[in-house]
Each structure stands twice: as structure tokens, then as C-alpha cells.
């Protein structure tokens, strides 16, 4: 397959790297020092799941220079969805599939307004991965998982073919019958864990060891579960308990949002806790804990955005 990775960060670099290692014709779309490093020395992946590997593949900051491809892995930050969605139009031909792997609930819906709707899929990635240095991806979680689905309805033959291709490249990937439910199943926990851990600047182990702080997380998650139910998706009475257990929640685990804040970058607060607050208002579901997280972290994000717009 001809594949373009739009956003070669922790997620795009890891999953795109696996596809390049498997022999697919992958082009990485990146910028800055990361782009230059990939051009100069290839992409190195340090993986707790698959072992370390290195790939050589073309890299550019201009999607128009690539031409149409079979698959676009869309892995930018959620706040760049609209800008990046317009930028990938030259990559999209009649048979192209676009697979977003972003945090949030609505990325695929936004892309479907910017691109031919029939080319857009939905995707959910569960992974801890980051850019450790220019040209170097560090995948830290002992396991990863990707769920993919059609925007409406059960898996189609084209989706099943894509899943098989991704599996052959080493992805732990599954087709889902109900995309929106699968999105909620990740989002309700991830958004709250990211919000609390970013606000308190703690690892998962520190959060879990502090009863008062852990209770804040539980209350935020219960709000998200209630909003999901109002949206038509019942996550189950034991969702919160299950969401806060499991091997992937290592004591030293951090979230991408708190790593972005620690490095002075914008954060995905609008797409995470902000989305819970907005949907809660729509359905009349109170979300005071998520509102507090959102309002507090929004101050930081607005300041970073303003500095960037001012050229600072």
C-alpha cells in the first residue's frame, strides 16, 4: 500500500513505522527538527511492545508533494484537525481511506465535512508513545490496541481487508460494530485521567496512591459515563472500576496531555474534558468536576495559543 502518515508523533510514528517495516510505501509528514532528523537518518522506534527497530522512508512537510495514496493515517493533535484535514486533500483519491487516530469523540465527523465522507473511517488507539528526540519515537506501553470502524454500521469488506493488512504489519487491531460506542469506551476514562493527571502533574501511581485525588478522578469519570448514557451509549455500571485497573496503567505512566503541558505546548483540553462539558450542557447532565478541570486548564492553553499567534 501507498501510505501517508499525517503527523509523525508518538502515535503516527509508531504505527506508521510498523507499516514501513513491513514493506509498505510509507511517507512521513512531519515538521521542524523531527522532519530533518527523519530525512537525515530515518525513523528510530524504541518499543516496549515490539522491540526496537529503524526504518528509512521519505519524509516531507508538504502533503501535496506526495500525491494520492491508498491510506492516510491521520495522527495530528485534535486542535489541528481542521487545518490538517484541509491539507491532506491532495492525498485523497477515489479509493483512499483516511484513518484518524486522535483523542476525542468527533475527529472523524469533522474530517467527513472536509473530505469525501465515504473515504473517512473512525479509529481508536490505546498506546503510550511519544517523540523522545528528533527522529526517535519511544513507545512505552507494554501493549497497544487499535479499534477501527465505519462511520455508520458494522464492518464492511473494505474495513476487514484493511484490518488484515494492518495485522500483518504487527498492529493489534480490531474492527468494531459500533464506532461511537467504542469511542466512548476509551474517551470517558482517558479524558478524565488526562485531565486530572495534567492538572495535578502526577504519574498514575501518584494519583492512585492519593485517595482524595483518586476520588476526583472517579467523580469526573462518573460524569462522563452519565453524559455517554445521555448520548445513547451505556458503558455499564462497572465501567469506572474497570477503567482504573489493568496492566497498561503502570505506576510511572503519564498522559500525552500532561507531557505537552510540561513542554510548554498546547494541550487537547477542548477535545477532552471540554467535550464532556459541552455534551453535558446539551443533554442537561451536570459535569462540575470536568467543568473545573476544563476551565482551569483552558487558561493555560489559551495563553500558549496566544503566544504562538503573536509569534512568541
Contacts for 274-279: CB closer than 8 Å, 24+ residues apart: 274/298, 275/104, 275/105, 275/106, 275/187, 275/191, 276/191, 276/192, 276/223, 276/224, 276/227, 279/227, 279/230, 279/231
In this structure, what CATH number is given to the domain that contains residue 226? 1.10.1040.10
Select from 177, 205, 228 the last residue of a domain. Answer: 177
Whether 27 and 59 map to the same domain: the answer is yes
- Residue 312 pLDDT > 70: no
29 three-state secondary structure: strand
Q: Which residues of 164-183 are buried (b: 16+ CB within 10 A; e: fewer)?
A: ebbeebbbebbbbeebbbbb
- Residue 228 pLDDT > 90: yes
Chain CA centroid to CA 66, Å: 23
Mean pLDDT, the chain, as a whole number?
96
Q: What's the rounded mean pLDDT across residues 144-150?
A: 97
Whether 142 and 186 map to the same domain: the answer is no
Select from 158, 177, 196 the last residue of a domain. Answer: 177
State pTM to two decimals: 0.95
297 three-state secondary structure: helix
Q: Quote the crossing angle between the two packed helices 211-230 and 273-283, to the nearest 10°.
A: 50
Q: Using CA atoms, how far apart are residues 93 and 132, in angstroms rounded to an integer? A: 34
Give 12-46 pLDDT, tens digit per residue: 999 999 999 999 999 999 999 999 999 999 999 99
Number of domains comprising the chain: 2
Give 42-65 pLDDT, tens digit per residue: 999 999 999 999 999 999 999 999
The range of the structural domain enclosing residue 285 comes to 181-309
- Residue 84 pLDDT > 70: yes
Select from 177, 192, 218 the last residue of a domain. Answer: 177
Amino acid at each position: 500500500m501507498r501510505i501517508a502518515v499525517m503527523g509523525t508523533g508518538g502515535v503516527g510514528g509508531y504505527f506508521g513505522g510498523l507499516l514501513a517495516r513491513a514493506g509498505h510505501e510509507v511517507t512521513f509528514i512531519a515538521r521542524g527538527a523531527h522532519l530533518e532528523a527523519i530525512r537525515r537518518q530515518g525513523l528510530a522506534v524504541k518499543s516496549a511492545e515490539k522491540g526496537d527497530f529503524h526504518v528509512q522512508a521519505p519524509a516531507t512537510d508538504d502533503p501535496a508533494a506526495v500525491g494520492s495514496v491508498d491510506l492516510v493515517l491521520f495522527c495530528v493533535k485534535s486542535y489541528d484537525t481542521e487545518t490538517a484535514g484541509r491539507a491532506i486533500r491532495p492525498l485523497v483519491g477515489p479509493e483512499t481511506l483516511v484513518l484518524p487516530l486522535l483523542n476525542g469523540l468527533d475527529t472523524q465527523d469533522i474530517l467527513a465535512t472536509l473530505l469525501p465522507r465515504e473515504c473517512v473511517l473512525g479509529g481508536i488507539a490505546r498506546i503510550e508513545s511519544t517523540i523522545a528526540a528528533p527522529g526517535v519515537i519511544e513507545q512505552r506501553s507494554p501493549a497497544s490496541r487499535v479499534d477501527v470502524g465505519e462511520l455508520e454500521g458494522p464492518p464492511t469488506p473494505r474495513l476487514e481487508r484493511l484490518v488484515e493488512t494492518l495485522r500483518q504489519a504487527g498492529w493489534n487491531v480490531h474492527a468494531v460494530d459500533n464506532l461511537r460506542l467504542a469511542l466512548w469506551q476509551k474517551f470517558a476514562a482517558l479524558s478524565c485521567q488526562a485531565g486530572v493527571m495534567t492538572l495535578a502533574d502526577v504519574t498514575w501511581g501518584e494519583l492512585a496512591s492519593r485517595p482524595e485525588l483518586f476520588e476526583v478522578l472517579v467523580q469526573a469519570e462518573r460524569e462522563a459515563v452519565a453524559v455517554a448514557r445521555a448520548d445513547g451509549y451505556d458503558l455499564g455500571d462497572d465501567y469506572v472500576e474497570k477503567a482504573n485497573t489493568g496492566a497498561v496503567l503502570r505506576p510511572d505512566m503519564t498522559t500525552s496531555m500532561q507531557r505537552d503541558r510540561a513542554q510548554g505546548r498546547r494541550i487537547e483540553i477542548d477535545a477532552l474534558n471540554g467535550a464532556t462539558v459541552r455534551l453535558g450542557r446539551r443533554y442537561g447532565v451536570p459535569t462540575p468536576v470536568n467543568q473545573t478541570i476544563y476551565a482551569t486548564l483552558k487558561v493555560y492553553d489559551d495563553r500558549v495559543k496566544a503566544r504562538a499567534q503573536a509569534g512568541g
